[in-house]
Amino acid sequence: MTQPFELDLHSEFLRADLYLNMGQPAEAARILGPLVDAEPRNEAAQELLARAYYGSAQLGPAEEALRRLVELAPSNGWARRALARTLERQSRPAEAGVHHRVADALGAA
């Protein structure tokens, strides 16, 4: 009897990180989708997914991933700054300003 496929979340995270570091953000995002679905409260996976989407200019999905990350970790200054920049790239400076101000207050670079 065969065993059902079990996703090795840690290995998949490392594989996605490798793809992102190799300059293949779209492939990293493809790998991370099921991982984030399996562990929706995993901040590290959510952040890596947001970086992958942003790096492959998938701004709508990047915004969605960053908003989920901000929900999980409201004091994450990096997430606030990245969300602001994503909104700016979508020509939404007023919305971006709010997140820039929060990032500034949190001391994010």
More confident of the two residues 5 and 23: 23
pLDDT tens digits for range 36-48: 999 999 999 999 9
pTM of the model: 0.89
CA distance 24 to 46: 17
Name the DSSP class of 3: P
CA distance 9 to 67: 22
**Structure confidence at residue 108 as a pLDDT band (50, 70, 90):** confident
pLDDT value at residue 20: 98
Domain ranges of the chain: 9-106
Q: In this structure, what token pair is assigned to residue 52?
A: 């992958």
pLDDT tens digits for range 55-103: 999 999 999 999 999 999 999 999 999 999 999 999 999 999 999 999 9
pLDDT value at residue 109: 75
- Per-residue pLDDT for 7 more than 80? no
9-106, which class in CATH? mainly alpha
Q: In this structure, what token pair is assigned to residue 67?
A: 């908003």
